[in-house]
Structure formats: structure tokens, C-alpha cells
């Protein structure tokens, strides 16, 4: 009976000894060495404040991952999507799939921002990929959890292509 009561107590109060993962198998505040141990491979680029890994995945999408550290504590990460599609609309479709995936995980975004620099394709969803590539449109969506801000962003430039990234940032602990 005592064991059942203890189990119920820990379920109701939560076990604060092991923090919930904030992204991947990681949690905010881990050191660079701890992150490297979890990732189990050598990053292709190391700086004083970052670890950058190639050939990672976000669900079915190839990406590189860049972890950011402040005072040797994990504070943020970027998934930089590496697929290069023939048609710009394929990038747009990928963004829509990522948007659904993140919404399934975190609920509806708290912010969904469309920035139109030129309205040529504004009412033509089948051309939104072209609008992004031509810098006519950029889009971002934001989710917040108790400890993390998640942002999905897409933008483009004609000579550079389309850039899609998901960023994870530790929320500020200060209660000012």
C-alpha cells in the first residue's frame, strides 16, 4: 500500500530529478561535452559557443543541427534543412509539412506571420514557393512550451535559394 501511495505521489507532483527533454534527447543547461556524448559523433564544426553537426534528421527531412551554448550551457539549437528541390513549390510543401508536424506536437502556433514584400503571387497558393524564392514572401510560425520557444522560418533570395530553419531557444528564467 505504501508503494502505491508513493507512486501516486510522484505521478501527481512530478519527478523533478530528471528534467523533461527540451529537444532531441537533450535538455537546457547541458554542457558541450554532455551534448557531444548524447550525439555520439564528432561535430564537423566546433567553436567556443557552438557545435555543428551534419547529416541529421528532423522526422523525414535531412538537416544539419547547430547547438548554441552560453557559459557552456545549452541555450538553443537550429535545424537547417538541407534538401535542395528543383521546384520552389516543393520547398513550400515541405514547410507546410513541417508546420503540421510541429502543430501536431505543440498545438496551434501562437503566432503565424506572413510578410509580403511584393503581392504578385499573394492570392495564388500554387506559386507561394516562387514568391519565397523571389523574396516576395517570408513566413514564420512560433510555438511556446513551458521552457522553450520554437520558431519555424522560411525565406529566400533568387541567387541563394530557399532557406528553411527551425530554431529552439531556452526561455529566459528571469521573472522581472
Whether this prediction's pTM lies above 0.75 is answered by yes
**Predicted confidence (pLDDT) per residue in 131-156, tens digit:** 999 999 999 999 999 999 999 999 99
DSSP string, 117-132: S--TTTT-GGGHHHHH
Average pLDDT for 36-59 = 94
The radius of gyration of the chain from alpha carbons, rounded to an integer in Å, stands at 19
C-alpha grid cell, residue 64: 544539419
**Predicted confidence (pLDDT) per residue in 14-31, tens digit:** 444 444 788 888 999 999
DSSP state of 145: -
Specify whether the CB–CB gap between 160 and 14 falls below 8 A: no
Spatial separation of the C-alpha atoms in residues 97 and 91, rounded to whole Å: 10
C-alpha grid cell, residue 129: 514557393
Identify the pLDDT of residue 6: 34
C-alpha grid cell, residue 130: 516562387
Identify the pLDDT of residue 174: 58
- Rounded to 5, what percent of the chain is helix, strand, coil? 25, 40, 35
**Predicted confidence (pLDDT) per residue in 117-133, tens digit:** 999 999 999 999 999 99
Residue 3 has pLDDT above 70, yes or no: no
Average pLDDT for 74-78 = 97
Count of CB atoms situated within 10 Å of the CB of 117: 11
| CA quadruple 73, 51, 153, 156: dihedral, nearest 10 | 150
Strands 137-144 and 111-116: antiparallel
Query: What does the longest C-alpha to C-alpha distance in the chain come to?
Result: 70
Amino acid at each position: 500500500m505504501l508503494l502505491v501511495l508513493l507512486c501516486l505521489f510522484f505521478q501527481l507532483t512530478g519527478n523533478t530529478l530528471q528534467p523533461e527533454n527540451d529537444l532531441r534527447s537533450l535538455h537546457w543547461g547541458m554542457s558541450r561535452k554532455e551534448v557531444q556524448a548524447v550525439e555520439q559523433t564528432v561535430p564537423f564544426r566546433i567553436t567556443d559557443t557552438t557545435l555543428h553537426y551534419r547529416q541529421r534528421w528532423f522526422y523525414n527531412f535531412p538537416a544539419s543541427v547547430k547547438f548554441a551554448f552560453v557559459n557552456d550551457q545549452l541555450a538553443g539549437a537550429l535545424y537547417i534543412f538541407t534538401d535542395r528541390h528543383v521546384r520552389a513549390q516543393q520547398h513550400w510543401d515541405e514547410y507546410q509539412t513541417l508546420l503540421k508536424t510541429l502543430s501536431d506536437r505543440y498545438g496551434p502556433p501562437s503566432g503565424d506571420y506572413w510578410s509580403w514584400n511584393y503581392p504578385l503571387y499573394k492570392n495564388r497558393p500554387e506559386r507561394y514557393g516562387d514568391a519565397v524564392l523571389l523574396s516576395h514572401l517570408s513566413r514564420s510560425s512560433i510555438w511556446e512550451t513551458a521552457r522553450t520557444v520554437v520558431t519555424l522560418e522560411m525565406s529566400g533570395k533568387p541567387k541563394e535559394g530557399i532557406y528553411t530553419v527551425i530554431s529552439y531557444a531556452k526561455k529566459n528564467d528571469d521573472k522581472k
